[in-house]
Amino acid sequence: MRNINRALLALIVAATPLSGALGGCSDSSDEKNTTDELSEDCSLNSDCGDPLICAFSRCHKQCAADRDCPTGQRCVTGEEDDAEEADKPGVCQLPIEKECEEDRDCNGGQYCGPDQECRDGCNDDSDCNLIKDYTVCTPSNVCAKEDEVGSDGDLPPAGGGSEGGAGGATGAGGGSGGASEPTPGDAGAGGEPAMGSGGAGGASGGTGGTTGGKTGDGGAPSGDDCSLEDVGNDSRDEATPYEFDTEFAGCLQSREDTDWYEFTTPEEPVQGGWLLVGMKDVGTSGGFYLTVYSTEDNAQLQQGYGYQGANGVVYLPVAAGKTFRAEVKMYSAIPPEYTFYASYTPLMDEYEPNDTREEAKPIALGEEIRGHAFQGFASATAPTNDEDWYEVDLAAGNMQITLDQPETIGHYVYLYDETGAQKGGNTYGTAGVDVSYEWTSLDRGKYYVVVRYYTGQMSRGQATTAPDFETEPYVLTVTQD
Ligand SMILES: [Ca+2]
Ligand SMILES: [Ca+2]
Ligand SMILES: [Ca+2]
């Protein structure tokens, strides 16, 4: 029976991207999606979807050992205020939390190891008993696995080659708990040099893989056979102007190269819309981070990544007439070639702007009003929920409102009289459900109908999936019988 259950579980895991990735035995694309979903900003555990927990201001999967984590991620000690050290839960280290040049690049009690990866800090072995298998306190004061350390008891330095042969000790030390796992920066199957082995001093050739010399500091890495010239878009001030729905073939010409793109959403319609920014045709040996920034506060709004040929895409609800930038930079050891693209899906709400009583739009009885309760981001500050105000003249008697709701967004409906007094209570319709309400014995006069977004709040938390990517309008109708 147990075997059958296991088989069923395996099937479910295989069929469900999210489950597959959470299961820790995912392929790289599943892992990518989930990692981005996990990395939402947070300050409390309750900011994260259960069972994720908040650590280092991001949502993480809990773990006790590497094998609890998505492939290639290290289990590290999490933070929990007031918790005794021994009670701090382990969390799966996100890719963006891994690489470092010095200690201050690392979270919490982590130090930057000789392999230029953030690891739990320690003074002696007794400090390294919180995460399974990381039992050795190295001379460089970071916790490591026994099979990661060399004969001197320490981790091989980044770029210093390794003592272990092809892709050897450093490959394992790439931080993933197994050279067989296709981790970013791993010296694995593709012969791609690990961050910790083919890096800065790559000339020492520790990895011995056929591509081992690609990222050596001595010469420009060839990346994914990138023959494109660098267009010089190396900073946000030099961003390449980008037009929606075009494709831009690019390449990171070196490990340090960054490519910036800049684009502006149309002024009309004023409701704003959905931004999608993506990378495809990604070289099969390299990897990238894709980050979207606002220009109002230069804040990071969204980030995704992909490697070893995987595409990456991020979604974001955005305001009309705003300029954004996207940055492409290296994620794994080899700078990739890629195709950058972005699209914008505007939401037509001809009654906007109508966010206040003063802006209320007159409507007629029986008129089918198609609107969107939507607000997009212009900066890191979350927009308030959209309100749509309508003004309608009613005869004395009863009034009915029907609201057909799109699949993923629920709405409040309020009624106010001309003096600003609310008539009746709050009404709320569950997303996807068509609702109708009736008010009885109203006096003749001018009234205001308000439709208000209610499905949590506009979010930029989901990097690669957009559960609220809703382009259907609601349909509001006011009648009197
Ligand atoms: Ca470039
Ligand atoms: Ca609206
Ligand atoms: Ca509005």
Q: Of 39-53, 149-163, 263-277, where does mean pLDDT reach its minimum? A: 149-163
Measured at the CA of 162, the angle between CA 158 and CA 164, to 5 degrees, comes to 150
446-471 pLDDT per residue, tens: 999 999 987 767 776 655 555 556 78
Q: How confident is the model at residue 15 (pLDDT cuts 50, 70, 90)?
A: very low
Class in CATH terms, 236-346: mainly beta
Q: Of 258-267, 319-328, 425-434, where does mean pLDDT reach its minimum? A: 425-434
Question: For residue 224, what pLDDT is reported?
Answer: 61
Backbone angles phi, psi at 238, to 5 degrees: -115, 20
Which numbered ligand comes closest to the C-alpha of 372? 2
| Contacts (Cβ under 8 Å, ≥6 apart) of 37 | 18, 49, 462, 463, 464, 465
CB 413 within 8 A of CB 383: no
For residue 179 the two structure tokens come to 């050279």
CATH number for the domain formed by residue range(s) 357-479: 2.60.120.380
Long-range contacts of the stretch 50-53 (C-beta < 8 A, 24+): 53/78, 53/89, 53/91
Per cent of the chain over pLDDT 70 is 73
The pLDDT of residue 165 is above 50: no
CA distance to 210, 234, 366, per residue, from 298 (Å): 40, 16, 46
392-434 pLDDT per residue, tens: 999 999 999 999 999 888 999 999 999 999 998 878 888 899 9
The pLDDT of residue 253 is above 80: yes
Question: For residue 464, what pLDDT is reported?
Answer: 59
Which numbered ligand comes closest to the C-alpha of 338? 1
Q: How confident is the model at residue 58 (pLDDT cuts 50, 70, 90)?
A: confident
What mean pLDDT is predicted for residues 36-46?
69
The pLDDT of residue 193 is above 90: no
Which numbered ligand comes closest to the C-alpha of 473? 2
In the chain, which residues fall in CATH 2.60.120.380? 236-346, 357-479
What mean pLDDT is predicted for residues 359-371?
98
Environment of ion ligand 3 (residues, CB < 5 A): 354-355, 386, 388
Question: For residue 429, what pLDDT is reported?
Answer: 86
> Please, what is the average pLDDT of the chain?
76
Q: How confident is the model at residue 2 (pLDDT cuts 50, 70, 90)?
A: very low
Pairing of strands 240-241, 445-453: unpaired
ω before 156 within 30° of 0 (cis)? no
Residue in the block written with tokens 């070196």: 254
- In the three-class reduction of DSSP (H, G, I as helix; E, B as strand; rest coil), residue 423 is classed as coil
The pLDDT of residue 140 is above 60: yes
For residue 232 the two structure tokens come to 């010089």
Kindly give the distance from the C-alpha atom of residue 330 to the centroid of ligand 1, in angstroms, as a whole number.
Answer: 10
Environment of ion ligand 1 (residues, CB < 5 A): 230, 253, 257, 259
What mean pLDDT is predicted for residues 239-268?
94
ω before 51 within 30° of 0 (cis)? yes
Q: How confident is the model at residue 439 (pLDDT cuts 50, 70, 90)?
A: very high
CB 326 within 8 A of CB 119: no
The pLDDT of residue 191 is above 80: no
Q: Of 178-187, 231-240, 399-408, where does mean pLDDT reach its minimum? A: 178-187
Question: For residue 83, what pLDDT is reported?
Answer: 54
**Strand segments (E) across 15-106:** 53-55, 58-60, 62-63, 75-77, 90-92
- Range among 150-159, 315-324, 428-437 rated most confident: 315-324
Question: For residue 287, what pLDDT is reported?
Answer: 81
CB 361 within 8 A of CB 349: no
- Range among 221-235, 277-291, 361-375 rated most confident: 361-375
Kindly give the distance from the C-alpha atom of residue 262 to the centroid of ligand 1, in angstroms, as a whole number.
Answer: 15
The pLDDT of residue 80 is above 90: no
Kindly give the distance from the C-alpha atom of residue 373 to the centroid of ligand 1, in angstroms, as a whole number.
Answer: 39
Residue in the block written with tokens 């929606």: 244
Q: Between these two residues, 158 and 325, which has the higher pLDDT value?
A: 325
The pLDDT of residue 26 is above 80: no
Which numbered ligand comes closest to the C-alpha of 329? 1
Alpha-carbon distance of 368 to 277, in angstroms, equals 34
Q: How confident is the model at residue 212 (pLDDT cuts 50, 70, 90)?
A: very low
Q: How many residues does the chain have?
A: 481
Kindly give the distance from the C-alpha atom of residue 246 to the centroid of ligand 2, in angstroms, as a whole number.
Answer: 29
